[in-house]
Amino acid sequence: MRRTFTVSILLTSLSIVSTSHLQAQLTALPDGGNKKAQVSERIGITDVSLNYNRPGVKGREGQIWGKLVPEGYVDQGFGTSKAAPWRAGANENTTIEFSTDVTIEGQPLPAGKYGFFVAYGASECTLIFSRNSSSWGSFFYDPKEDALQVKVKPVPMDHEVERLKYEFLDEKENAATIALEWEKISIPFKVETDYPKLQLESFRRELRNSQGFSWNALNQAADFCVQHNIDLEEGLSWANAAVNPPLGNMNFITLSTKAQVLAALNRKDDADAIMKAALPLATEQEVHLYARQLLTQKRYKEALEAFKLNYDKHPNEFMTNMGMARGLSANGDYKKALEYMKKAEPQAADKPNKDNIAKMIPMLQEGKDIN
């Protein structure tokens, strides 16, 4: 009886050891030394994240594309797929995730996480975004799960990338190119977002929360509408809230933003009246920056008036002398502009400003605009 009990305990112990052996694994490098990697960046306010494994060339130059990475779709001899694309990396399948709706090469793709596959071709590659993001590799690839396919051209590179990587290139406010790079081939695809629309939707949500009790946040939203020439009437409502009680603050920043919205709505007289009220509230630097902005808008006469207002309030200072020089130059009075520039020259406190003045003085002497 005792012997039977001992054997029973031994068998139970072996069973536990066997089960533990099957379930427990120590942390170690992935098979083949393929490094795990993640790259994430923000396009506009859209977060884009790739998770992948990085195989190396390992001396196999010329044996990667079309060989190690097969062309098109192949039967890998395992799993349910008899026509599988490449997993766009190693080990687990590569995944890509978007926090908002995007377009890939101009085609729409909803927000979400996708398995990312590539059907490679020497002259054209098919990129596949699969709703199945949890399977291992492409052994269980099913075209019925495709959310999107796009075709792009592979691009030869003049340098070698030892380990496969994904890079964000040509980044803009609303777009970026993501490139898969390995050995001497790059496979790029363009991701775009409707940034202004998404940003306004975000502002609307946030302004219904604690941020909506701040004139700074209201002013920021109004200014965005002006800078992107979008939803100007809504921008005006935010600008009014930023100026007026109980949440607003009537200062140069809020008034000048409201004036810009009114000007964008072709209500120039109203905008001018607001700016007349705003300028006396401005600091020396605020007036200077406003006048510089007028110069970029080619409103040269108004810019000079603002520079002169600043000079009369803060006479013979470096910033106001420079402002007068710029305003007069923009209006073609190079001789008088040169007088103010020479007054500013000894007042320059740092090398960049001194170097800048050294370039502008000869321009004014030659009758050239310095702006």
Q: What is the pLDDT of residue 8?
A: 39
Quote helix, strand, coil % in the chain, to nearest 5: 45, 25, 30
Radius of gyration of the CA atoms of the chain, in A: 32
pLDDT at 26: 76
Nearest 5°: phi and psi at 45? -115, 20
DSSP string for 32-76: GG-EEEEEEEEETTEEEEEEEEE-B-TT-TTSTBTTTB-BS-B--
**Looking at residue 29, what is its pLDDT?**
65
Any idea which fold 196-365 has? 1.25.40
Phi-psi region of 24 (alpha: psi -120 to 50; beta: other; left: phi over 0): beta
Omega before residue 196 within 30° of 0, cis: no
* pLDDT at res. 25: 67
List the chain residues with pLDDT less than 50: 1-22
Residues of the chain with CATH 1.25.40.10: 196-365
Each residue's pLDDT tens digit, 247-266: 999 999 999 999 999 999 99
Which pLDDT belongs to residue 34?
Answer: 79
pLDDT value at position 30? 64
Residues in CB range of 239: below 8 A, 6 or more apart? 218, 219, 222, 254, 257, 258, 261
The tokens 């075209």 sit on which residue?
Answer: 143
Cα gap 110→98, rounded to integer Å: 8
